[in-house]
Structure 1
Amino acid sequence: MTASSISESIAIVHPVTLSHGLNAHVWDTDGKRYIDFVGGIGVLNLGHCNPRIVEAVCTQAGRLTHYAFNAAPHAPYKQFMERLASFIPVSYAVSGMLTNSGAEAAENALKIVRAATGRTAVIAFDGGFHGRTLATLNLNGKVAPYKQRVGTLPGPVYHLPYPSQDNGVTTEEALKALDRLFSVEIDVNEVACFILEPVQGEGGFLALEPSFAQALRRFCDEKGILLIVDEIQSGFGRTGQRFAFTRLGIEPDLILLGKSIAGGLPLGAVVGKKALLDTLPKGGLGGTYSGNPIACAAALATLDEMTDANLAAWGESQEQAILNRYQAWQQNKLSPYLGKLTGVGAMRGIELLTPEGAPATAVLAQLLESARQQGLLLMPSGKSRHIIRLLPPLTIEPHVLEAGLDIFERCLAAIR
């Protein structure tokens, strides 16, 4: 395979070719080892080649590699959905469907809310990211590069400021923008749903203000609007809890899942209130590969690992290590470019700013390259690509986490 056989529209963060991985390490085809703080962009919360997941995949591959669930149901799909329904921390009975990805979960959620409400408009948030398919592009709160040169997108979609201590937007400011939206832009009775991330991923690991989430929940209940929470990146233990929405003190109507749901295999889901999931006619939901039995087996093994005790221990350990190191960097004035620590729990980002307070995009690019040369893979985020998002496995060995932070420290300190 030559480079010309792959579309040049795919942007590559790290120009290396990976060969294999184990927990928090990966190796390239030249035999160089890296500490992985990318995790397939939040897919590998349980690390590379987790033994329990590998065993489940191999066992299932010898039984049934595929069957379309809507043609004839198979046991792994049924077993996983039953387990998943009990894993979602809400007070109502959970129903749902499996998809191939988070973006596909979002697409199906849009169909569901249209059918349930008879409305079409969606309110999303600045900085949000919900996928790369045509409808999800319009949900994203960022134009470049996702919305460029693709023309008119499915809608209508409107955007509001995302209130977070990490970006300086207050609950009051966001609510004022909400009031303006319905005074100037659109009739509230045309809105089917709001969609938000409890912690933005692509946006820079910004944590939503709980007071805004609670006010929005009340507003949705009053106006007959549904609330979709996108836990594709923040879910399955990333923050140290099962899902990040629990810290907001709300319950969503629909929840989008993906990434770490199946330990590295392609799988997603849209779950929520049963009445909503049953709104479309028979045949309105489904898909050829959705809920593939091997992916379901991996997902079952993933849930076996994600006990509340494990998640709490992993999350607390990782959060404390990152906080301790960041506080030391601040005290020691490690770098003039060191900005805020964003996010919550073990889902943390490190902001890079110029001494004048502008996004230090060029510095981040230097940091990515120098860290890679020293054996650490990092992932950018934020509107200006100036926030490093830390996505090591929750299962990373403490000494490996410290070694990765050591490399980060050396590389950032060397940039002047």
Structure 2
Amino acid sequence: MQQVKAVVATAKGEPVSIATVNVPDPGPGEALVKILACGVCHTDLHYREGGISDDFPFLLGHEASGIVESVGPDVSDVAPGDFVILNWRAVCGECRACKRGEAQYCFATHNAKQQMTLGDGTALSPALGIGAFAEKTLVAAGQCTKVDPSARPAAAGLLGCGVMAGLGAAINTGGATRGRSVAVIGCGGVGVAAVAGAVLAGSSPVIAVDIDARKLAAARAAGAMHTIDSSAGDPVEQIKQICAETYPGAEGADIVVEAVGRPETWKQGFYARDLAGTLVLVGVPTPDLTLPELPLIDVFGRGGALKSSWYGDCLPSRDFPMLIDLYQRGRLDLDAFVTEEIALDQVEEAFDRMHDGTVLRSVVVL
């Protein structure tokens, strides 16, 4: 057992605090990881606000990189000293999805079995089974993906959630590739990553939609060829016009990635698709939101696919090393997503800046 400093959310809507946390030694199939960096993600704020569950207190943080310090019995994929990115989809290898070769859809992903606790023994709920706003955390060994140790920890860790979610939504879920147009609605960290993914895949045109000029500027920096301020006009008609200029007769984008998680923007994405186009929902909605009413004939008549993308349909063991390699070779600018590096006790202020839209990612560096 070790004691470490960590960021804890103790009650719904209350500011987070620094607490001393007890971290057990790793048991069978578990790994103890010394955290080097962890991004401040909207999901952590959702936990603090009670938008995911009410299993307080929460040990926040999940978008992380670190060094494996020790492992429990029966662990062979990682070893002490390995530089890893943490993931929240440790696949089981035994479920129907895994056995049919679709481990990215694993039905039985798992976390560490032992619980981390506060000093008084109160069990903590680690965010997405990770809890990485901490000096060290205990995870299932399958949540550790070994990557090139020369990669910058603050940038590499972002693949653990938001950047992977956006890249994967465009490429893995949406099928972005050459000859296909992509529109991304909502250009926070996940949306800008979707833009970067579409550009990386060779899609054209790549269109970014938002109401914030700063976010649209970030999307342009990531390679968006067109930007649309949706507060100044109908984005659906503008997307259609841009796509028709490249592909005469097109009635919208081949792929629309909705990275907001709102019924209004989802409906915009539905109608901004070309016939037989794909709409991908990657923005995380709150539990009270419902799909907007649509004429069923429109759902039938437009064809195509309406998908949701969970973690960018990624397989960490396949995708993380590949993306780190692209980063190291200058083809994927992960550094651009790191707006600022902060200390462990500055997470609450980082939530405020997230609300203000002034950052793509604040990253805690330990």
Quickly name the TM-score band, shorter chain normalised.
0.3 to 0.5
Whose helix fraction is larger, Structure 1's or Structure 2's?
Answer: 1
| TM-score, length of structure 2 as denominator length | 0.33
| TM-score, length of structure 1 as denominator length | 0.30
Higher relative CO (Cα under 8 Å, sequence separation at least 6) belongs to: 1
